[in-house]
Amino acid sequence: MGRESLSILITGASSGIGRATALALADSGVTLHLAGRSQERHEPLLAELEATGARARFLPVDLADLASVRDGAERFLASGEPLHVLLNNAGLAGARGRTENGFERTFGVNHLGHFLLTELLLDRLHESAPARIVNVASDAHFSAETVDWDALQRPTRSLTGLPEYAVSKLCNVLHARELAERLADSGVTTYALHPGVVATEVWRKVPWGLRQLIRLFMESPEAGARTSEYCAVSEAAGSQSGLYYANCEPKPPSRLARDATLTAELRERSLAWTGLGAGVG
């Protein structure tokens, strides 16, 4: 995908992998829409992006609040801008509690907020095709053994929040796969990916001992951005849809991430929970 005139919306670019990805994608002629909670936390990046010759805009979106996701999507659509790449990057690990709408916090932010954002922007992606949807998932999804649908409507149960994180990342992979099937031959292709184990803020809520252990294996945010950049714009990735990537190569996701029944149920429930469809409660 040539970068000239690309319009890219990325969530969670105030720090870490999202910030490094926005900088890697920045070029003159590119417009970056930075969707996030705090304009103040995005200001340094907005200035850095403008210095590269890219256009950069802040879009207020709190993924923990579905009303805020709707407002952000409406504001984007009203701008009349095309959308060539939607990069669902923002994420939490080790957080506990519920979202504004009563969902388990990590699931609500990592999957449900992005699900709604994607659905609301889908027509614009179609109109702008060729276009791509990139979900930043994680190899953590391999440790999810099942999805307890009831638990997704309750506060975080585990002490570390990591089992809930694994489920939320499984949902990111299932979501990309389900979209690929639904959008086949539409000119909109989808991707899920593992960015590596990266030294970012995402680990701040993980218990200290575990955090020290994870630190031993960490890469830089710039290295963590490579697979996102690859899925967002590389010619090679453009020919296939619905795959899971790590190190800029397709990789088989977990058995559960390829489960057709689970894929369909996640879609139905996500539609119902975001108020977009009848689905199941």
Ligand X SMILES: NC(=O)c1ccc[n+]([C@@H]2O[C@H](COP(=O)([O-])OP(=O)(O)OC[C@H]3O[C@@H](n4cnc5c(N)ncnc54)[C@H](OP(=O)(O)O)[C@@H]3O)[C@@H](O)[C@H]2O)c1
Q: Which residues does 216 contact at the CB level (< 8 Å), separation at least 6?
A: none
8 A C-beta contact, residue 192 and residue 169: no
- Using CB under 6 A, which of 89, 189, 227, 241 touches ligand X? 89
Dist CA 56 CA 7 (whole Å): 10
- 21 lies in the site for ligand X, by CB under 6 A: no
Q: Per-residue x/- mask for ligand X, residues 177 to 196, rule CB under 6 A? A: -----------------xx-
- 38 lies in the site for ligand X, by CB under 6 A: yes
The values of phi and psi at residue 128, to 5°, are -95, 0
- 156 lies in the site for ligand X, by CB under 6 A: no
Q: How far is the CB of 42 from ligand X (least distance, A)?
A: 8
Q: How far is the CB of 58 from ligand X (least distance, A)?
A: 12
- 167 lies in the site for ligand X, by CB under 6 A: no
Dist CA 181 CA 245 (whole Å): 17
8 A C-beta contact, residue 167 and residue 144: yes
Span of 36-44, 72-80, 115-123, 270-278 interacting with ligand X by CB under 6 A? 36-44
Q: How far is the CB of 2 from ligand X (least distance, A)?
A: 26
189-198: burial string, b at 16+ Cβ within 10 Å, e else: bbbbbbbbbb
- 59 lies in the site for ligand X, by CB under 6 A: no
Residue 41 or 70: the one with the smaller Cβ distance to ligand X is 41
Residue 129 or 199: the one with the smaller Cβ distance to ligand X is 199
Span of 16-24, 126-134, 236-244, 252-260 interacting with ligand X by CB under 6 A? 16-24
Q: How far is CA 260 from the centre of its chain?
A: 21
Q: How far is the CB of 107 from ligand X (least distance, A)?
A: 12
- 136 lies in the site for ligand X, by CB under 6 A: yes
- 18 lies in the site for ligand X, by CB under 6 A: yes
Residue 124 or 194: the one with the smaller Cβ distance to ligand X is 194
- Using CB under 6 A, which of 8, 10, 31, 62 touches ligand X? 62
- Using CB under 6 A, which of 22, 45, 54, 109 touches ligand X? 109
Q: Binders of ligand X: how many residues, by CB under 6 A?
A: 30
Q: Which residues does 37 contact at the CB level (< 8 Å), separation at least 6?
A: 14, 60, 61, 62
- Using CB under 6 A, which of 8, 17, 26, 152 touches ligand X? 17
- Residue 245 falls in the annotated catalytic set: no
Catalytic residues: 165
Provide the binding-site residues for ligand X, judged by CB under 6 A.
11-12, 14-18, 36-38, 41, 61-64, 89-93, 109, 136, 138, 194-195, 197-198, 200-202
